Amino acid sequence: MRKQKSQFDVLTPNSAAKRRVLAIGLLIVLALGATYIPVTLAQAPSRTVFSAWASQEPTMDGKIDDSEWASAYKVTFISKYGESTIYVMNDARDLYFALKIRDTNLADVIGQFDQVVIDFHLPDDGLVYGQGDDLIGCAPPRSFDDSNNLGQDRFSADRQIDGECAVTRIGDHNHFELRHPFNSGDQQDMALGAGGTAAVRFVIFDEGRVADVYPKTTDARNPNTATWAGLKIASPPGIGISNPLLIGLAVVVVVGWLGWVVLMVRQRGKKAQKPPQ
C-alpha cells in the first residue's frame, strides 16, 4: 500500500534532504552559540580593558589629532570641568597614552601643575599596588616622569628614563600625550609582551591637587588594583585568527560548506541508485 503524501512531502519532495538541511542549520546555530557564549561571558565584568593596536605612531607634540589616535581604545568620562577622553594603544615597542582633559587653563607653576600620573600594577592579579610597580607622568610642557614604586607609598625616579611626553592647551582642553616602552629592559619598568596584561589607573591633577581618577571605581589612594582598569598589549591585526568572532565565522563557513558538499554527494548517490523508469 502506497503511503499517502502529506502536505510537507508535497512542498518538499525529498524530506530526507530537508532533514539534512535542518541538521546543518542546527550545527550552524550550535557553532554560532559556541562562539558567542564565551564572548558574552568574557564581557560580563564591566571593567574597562584598554587594548588597541596603533595603526600609526602618534607624534608626541601635545596635540591629540583624531587621525593619529583613530585606532586607539577610547574612553570618555566626566571629569571635574566636563567631558574628557582617554586614548590608549600600542605598537610593537611602545604604549601610547593621550588624555584630553577639560580644564579652565593649563597650570604650569611648579608644585601646582595640571598634570597626569598613570599607575601600573603587574601582574594583573587584583592584588595591591606596591613595590616594583611602574608609573609614568606628564607635566607641562614636556616634563616626563618615569618612576617606580618603592612600596609603603614611596616612589623614586628611575635611573633610566624611558619615554617622553608633551602637553598643550587646545580650546577648552589640555592635551597630554605620553609614550612608554612596554618592555624597556629597565628593571624599574614594566616588562610585558604581546597579550601581556596589567592593571592601570589614571590620576588627573588640577593645579597640584588630585581632581579626578579613571576609572571612577577607584581613587588616587586606593591600592586595591581589582578596582582599577585593565591594560592588554595588542597584537597587529593579521588574519584575525586571535579574534573569537572571526574564528566563529570561520567555523560557520566551514560547517556550512561541508554540510552542503555532503548533501550534494548523497543526493547524487541516490540519483545514481535510482532504477531508470
The residues binding Ca ion (CB under 5 A) are: 58-59, 61, 63, 134, 146, 148, 158, 160, 162, 186, 188-189
Shortest distance in whole angstroms from residue 189 CB to Ca ion: 4
Coil, helix or strand for 33? helix
Closer residue to Ca ion, CB minimum distance, 188 or 225: 188
Shortest distance in whole angstroms from residue 257 CB to Ca ion: 46
Whole-angstrom Cα distance, residue 271 to residue 277?
A: 12
Q: Which residues contact 211 (CB under 8 A, 6 or more apart)?
A: 79, 80, 204, 205
Shortest distance in whole angstroms from residue 21 CB to Ca ion: 55
Residue whose C-beta lies closest to Ca ion: 158
Whole-angstrom Cα distance, residue 274 to residue 86?
A: 69
Shortest distance in whole angstroms from residue 58 CB to Ca ion: 5
The grid cell for 94 is: 611602545
Whole-angstrom Cα distance, residue 115 to residue 195?
A: 29
Shortest distance in whole angstroms from residue 177 CB to Ca ion: 5
Strand-pair category, 112-113 with 108-109 = antiparallel
Q: Which residues contact 257 (CB under 8 A, 6 or more apart)?
A: none
Angle (CA) 29 30 36, round 5°: 85
Closer residue to Ca ion, CB minimum distance, 186 or 207: 186
Closer residue to Ca ion, CB minimum distance, 50 or 97: 97
Closer residue to Ca ion, CB minimum distance, 105 or 160: 160
Closer residue to Ca ion, CB minimum distance, 185 or 275: 185
